[in-house]
Amino acid sequence: MTEFQHRVLRRLTVVVALAGMVLLGAACSSSSKTATSSSLGANTSSSSSSPAAASSGPGTMFSTAQVGKLGTVLVDGRGHTVYMLTADGRTNTPCTDDSGCTKVWPDLPLPDGVASATAGAGVQASLLSTMPANGETYPTYHGWLLYEFAGDSAAGQANGEGIHSFGGTWYALNASGEPVMAAGSASSSSSGY
């Protein structure tokens, strides 16, 4: 083989490998639909699901964990702090794909075929429920829709606590389903969120 043929073969190998990676990434990606409405609607399900279903996504199991100065708060199946949004006395202020909210505050829809989330350690099963919206089912805790924060990159973080954005204020939840309003948690949306 000539040097030219070797170079062409190497480039072709790189192109094929990159194309394979792009196809694999496309096959593994999923989209999330708009998450909430301004009112809760009916909470329809109690918590029960198989252990296999609980490992299907971050919104399929909730437990509690000690998170910094906030104390014991609700976390999802990945161990990430979950948040709720409130504004002007309204609960479940909308966080939608259309407003860009769910890019910063990802919602936690249940995977297809999973009817409810599982209550893990520290979670009161009676407070864990669901709400259907836009063709998907979302877990709720004490009536609150649940979200992660894009600024939390690992378990044990609560960088979204007290942030004012998307028409309200974001708070973690304690095991009783009440917002945790830590002293000094009045962050603003000036942090880019």
Position 164 pLDDT exceeds 50:
yes
| Same domain, yes or no: 84 and 146 | yes
Report the pLDDT value the prediction gives residue 104, as an integer from 0 to 100.
97
Number of domains in the chain: 2
| 39 located within any domain | no
Helix (H) or strand (E) holding 103: helix 101-104
Tokens, residue 158? 């609560």
Domain range enclosing 117 = 51-191
| Same domain, yes or no: 12 and 79 | no
| Same domain, yes or no: 16 and 107 | no
| 41 located within any domain | no
CA triplet 166, 170, 172: central angle to 5 degrees? 155
Report the pLDDT value the prediction gives residue 133, as an integer from 0 to 100.
85
| 45 located within any domain | no
| Same domain, yes or no: 133 and 100 | yes
| Same domain, yes or no: 22 and 117 | no
Report the pLDDT value the prediction gives residue 3, as an integer from 0 to 100.
59
| Same domain, yes or no: 104 and 21 | no
pLDDT in tens, 13-71: 443 443 444 333 333 333 333 343 333 333 333 333 334 434 468 889 999 999 999 99
Torsion 101-103-108-110 (CA) sign: positive
Average of per-residue pLDDT across 157-184 = 91
| Same domain, yes or no: 14 and 102 | no
Tell me if the pTM is above 0.85.
Answer: no
| 37 located within any domain | no
Give percent of the chain with pLDDT exceeding 90.
52
Position 6 pLDDT exceeds 50:
no
pLDDT in tens, 74-95: 999 999 999 999 887 766 777 8
| 42 located within any domain | no
Report the pLDDT value the prediction gives residue 1, as an integer from 0 to 100.
65
Average of per-residue pLDDT across 186-192 = 43
